[in-house]
Structure 1
C-alpha cells in the first residue's frame, strides 16, 4: 500500500494485522493443546477447566502447547493493561505539572502555554484532554502556522490516536527484541501523524502546516513528554512532501479491497478459537 495516500486505511490494516497475529499465534498453540478433546479452543479449554477426560490421551507436546499458549495470552493481556495504566499515570502526573508551569493565554484560547524557550507543541490525550504549546513555539511560528499546528494537535485528541498506538506500544514491551514489532510501531506512529495532517488540512493551509513542520525540525524542537502526542521531527520531509505535493486518492475499488482484507484478517483468526483444526 502507498502509505502516504490513505493513512487511516493503512492504520486499519496494521491494526487488523496485529489483532489477527495475536489471536492466530495463541489460538494455534491452544488449538493444538486441546486437540485431544476434538473441539475448538474455547470448548476445549472449558472442558479442560471442568476436568473432563479427553477422547484421546494427553501427549507431552499437547501439555507444552497448553502452557505456552496460556502464557503467551496472559503476557499479551498483561502488557496491554500495564501499558494502559502507565499511560494514564503519566498523563495524570503531567496534568499536575502543567498546572504549575503553564498558563492560559488570551491569544490562544483553550490552549495551555508552557513557560519554556524551546519549541514544543503536543496534546495530553484522554477524557480531560489538553493542547499545549511552549513560549518558544509562539515566538517561532507565524499566526497561520500556529493555527495549523493547533489543528494538527486537536486532530490527535479528536481521533484518539493514543488508543491506536497503545496496542503497538504494548507489543513492543512484550517483544523488545523484535525488529518486525519495532518497524510496525514506527509505521503506525508515522501514519497517525499523516492522519492528523489530513484532518488539519480541512481547517488550515497545507503549506502553512508544512512550513511549521520545517521550522520545528530546524529549531531542534523539545522532545514530546512520555505518553503524549506531539510534533515529531522524525520523517518531517516525508510529511512535508505529502502536504505540498499530495498524491492522487486511491480508487474506491482499491480501498474496498483493503477494507475486505482487514475484515477477513480480523474475522478469520478467531475461527481457530471455536472450530477444530
Structure 2
C-alpha cells in the first residue's frame, strides 16, 4: 500500500508540475530542455498512475505493482481464480476495480499511440502520392517541391524513406530569397530532428482524450516549443529578422490549408484573433526579434537531471513491495 500511495503522490505531483511548466517563462529560453521535461512528466504521469492502481489492486500479493502484475499473470495462466478471490468483500471489489481501471487506462493510452501513428502514416502516404502528381521542382527552391496554390504555405512531410518540404506559389510570391531560405531551413530542421516523432506521444494523448481541454492545451504548448526548436536551428544559417519577417508575411497573407500529418512553418489560423486564440506565431516573432538570454547550461543540466531522477524514481516505486 505504501507503493500505491507514493505512486499516487508522484502522479499528482506530475499534474501540478505540468501546470507550473505551462505557465513558466523559461521554456522559451530553452525549448529543447522544456520539450524533454514535458516528455518526462507525461511519461511519469502515465506510468505512476497505472502503477498506483496496480499496486493498490494487487496489494494482496504484497509484491508491489511490478511483482503483483507478474504474479497475477502467472495465476491467470495457471488457471487460478484470482479475480474472483480479489472481488471478495468491499475491499476486494475496490481492488478488482483498480486493476480494471489500470487495464483500461493502459489500453486507452496504447490505442491513442497506435491509432495516431497509423493515421498519420496513411495520410502522409496519400499526400506523398498526390505530390507526385501536382508538385514540381523549382530551380530557385532547392530541396523542396512547389505546388500551384495562391495561399502562402510551407510545410514538411516527414517519412522514413521519403521526406519532403513543400512550398506554394503563394509563398514564393510574398517571400524574398533570404526569407525563403530561412523558411526552408526551418522545415529541414523539422525533418532532420524528426520533430514529428517528438510530438507523437502528445498527439496520441490528444487522440485518446479528445474531450479533455487540458490535454489539447498542453499539446499546443509542446507543439509551439517544437516550432521554437526549429526556429533556433534555422537561425544558424539565417538571421532572426529574416525568419521573423517570413512568419509575419505568412500571417498577413492569410491562413493556408495544411494537410494532416504535416508540420507547417505557420499553422493554419495561428495568426487569427491574437487576443482570443493562442498567439503562437506572435510569441515566436517576439522571441526572434527580442531574444532573451538562453537558458544557462547549469540550469538545463539541473532540469534534465531532475527529469531523469523522476523517471528512475517511478521505475523503482513499481518494485517496492511494502
TM-score, with normalisation over the residues of structure 1?
0.95
Kept after mapping to 2: 8 A contact 1:120/1:133? yes
Query: What is aligned with 1:117?
Result: 150
Cα shift at 1:7: 0.5
Residue 257 in structure 1 maps to residue 302 in structure 2: yes
Pairing 1:99-178 to 2, within 5 Å after superposition? 99-127=132-160, 128-178=162-212
Distance 2:27 2:68 in 1: 41
Kept after mapping to 2: 8 A contact 1:28/1:272? no
Kept after mapping to 2: 8 A contact 1:104/1:113? yes
Distance 2:253 2:294 in 1: 33
Distance 2:183 2:235 in 1: 10
Distance 1:221 1:205 in 2: 24
Distance 2:291 2:53 in 1: 45
Kept after mapping to 1: 8 A contact 2:165/2:188? yes
Residue 269 in structure 1 maps to residue 293 in structure 2: no
How many residues end up aligned between the 2 structures? 275
Cα shift at 1:48: 1.3
**1:180-224 CA distances to partner (integer Å, 9 max, x unpaired)?**
211210100100010000000001111000000000000013132
**1:48-86 CA distances to partner (integer Å, 9 max, x unpaired)?**
1221688xx631111111111011111111110110011
Greater relative CO, 1 or 2 (CA 8 Å, sep 6+): 1
Distance 1:145 1:109 in 2: 14
Kept after mapping to 2: 8 A contact 1:30/1:65? yes
Distance 1:219 1:146 in 2: 15
Secondary structure in 1 aligned to 2:27?
coil
Pairing 1:200-215 to 2, within 5 Å after superposition? 200-215=234-249
Secondary structure in 1 aligned to 2:34?
helix
C-alpha RMSD over aligned residues: 1.5
**1:100-150 CA distances to partner (integer Å, 9 max, x unpaired)?**
111111221221101111111000011111000001111110000000000
Query: What is aligned with 1:224?
Result: 258
Query: Which sections of structure 1, spanning at least 5 residues, go unmatched?
Result: none
Secondary structure in 2 aligned to 1:188?
helix
Distance 1:221 1:121 in 2: 11
Secondary structure in 2 aligned to 1:50?
helix
TM-score, with normalisation over the residues of structure 2?
0.82
Kept after mapping to 1: 8 A contact 2:111/2:208? no
The structure 1 segments of at least 4 consecutive aligned residues displaced by more than 4 Å after TM superposition are: none
Secondary structure in 2 aligned to 1:49?
helix
Cα shift at 1:165: 1.1
Secondary structure in 1 aligned to 2:166?
strand
Evaluate the alpha carbon distance shift between residue 109 and residue 251 of structure 1 in structure 2; reply closer, same or farther with a 3 A threshold. closer
Query: What is aligned with 1:87?
Result: 120
Query: What is aligned with 2:5?
Result: none
Distance 2:158 2:311 in 1: 27
Cα shift at 1:31: 1.1
Distance 2:111 2:320 in 1: 26
Secondary structure in 1 aligned to 2:28?
coil
Pairing 1:230-241 to 2, within 5 Å after superposition? 230-232=264-266, 234=270, 235-241=280-286
